[in-house]
Chains A and B, each alone.
Chain A
Amino acid sequence: DTGVSQNPRHKITKRGQNVTFRCDPISEHNRLYWYRQTLGQGPEFLTYFQNEAQLEKSRLLSDRFSAERPKGSFSTLEIQRTEQGDSAMYLCASRRNSAPEAFFGQGTRLTVV
């Protein structure tokens, strides 16, 4: 296993711009999660995929946010019309259906200026 991979690691963007992040889960991990973490807080759930199906979305995921996992492998998280309040670490995790342990990537740090 090469681990969960997230790109980019850092992103600085101007308010109002769109950004897209990518997550490559561990091979053969069916479940994929996105979380957001602000400074000094625990991660907050955003959304969850079982293969390509998006099965759960948090109320935190406003209509400016969209996530996809088109072929049940990698996933993207897009934020449209970014706001300063979107500045956070965005974390991706994956796990197998048959194994309980979740593994996280290194995250993408977003700064909206």
Chain B
Amino acid sequence: KQEVTQIPAALSVPEGENLVLNCSFTDSAIYNLQWFRQDPGKGLTSLLLIQSSQREQTSGRLNASLDKSSGRSTLYIAASQPGDSATYLCAAVSDNMLTFGGGTRLMVKP
């Protein structure tokens, strides 16, 4: 059974800092790794998807990497802004489901 862990559970940083969110998964037989953002009381917004054959994906200030052999993914956020404050969730994607970690709650202070 796939288990996904995200560290840290919460993070508070001053505006402008670069930061790294970590995601680990126990079963490396995944199809993809998908990162989401969730604002309070809202649904999930897809940020980046890394297919199992890829090592990383980039979108704007976001860069996600995937190392299947070690069961790890990281989300790098450059030059953080207060608008980045949200919960970030990673999901290990198999053929028929996404398995989520508990999320990292990020607060970026002005």
Q: Which residues of A contact B (CB under 8 A)?
A: 4, 6, 33, 35, 40-45, 48, 55-56, 89, 91, 93, 100-107, 109
Contacts and interface: CB of A to CB of B under 8 A. Distances in A.
Task: Tell me whether chain B's interface is mostly helix, strand or loop, or mixed.
Answer: strand
Contacts of A109: 41
Nearest to B101: A42
Task: Tell me whether chain A's interface is mostly helix, strand or loop, or mixed.
Answer: strand
B49 interface: yes
Contacts of B18: none
Interface of B: 4, 6, 31-32, 34, 36, 41-46, 49, 51, 89, 91, 93, 96-103
A105 B38 CA distance: 11
A6 B101 CA distance: 23
A93 B91 CA distance: 13
A109 B36 CA distance: 19
A42 B93 contact: no
Contacts of B103: 41-42
Contact of B98 (A4, A40, A45, A106): A45
12 contacts: A33-B98, A41-B103, A42-B101, A48-B96, A48-B97, A100-B51, A101-B49, A102-B46, A102-B98, A104-B36, A105-B43, A109-B41
B93 A91 contact: no
A103 B82 CA distance: 25
A55 B102 contact: no
Contacts of B97: 33, 45, 48, 56
A45 B46 CA distance: 17
B100 A55 contact: no
Given A33-B97, A42-B101, A102-B46, 8 more contacts: A35-B98, A43-B89, A48-B96, A48-B97, A93-B98, A101-B49, A102-B93, A104-B44
Given A42-B103, A105-B43, A107-B43, A100 B98 contact: no
Contacts of A55: 96
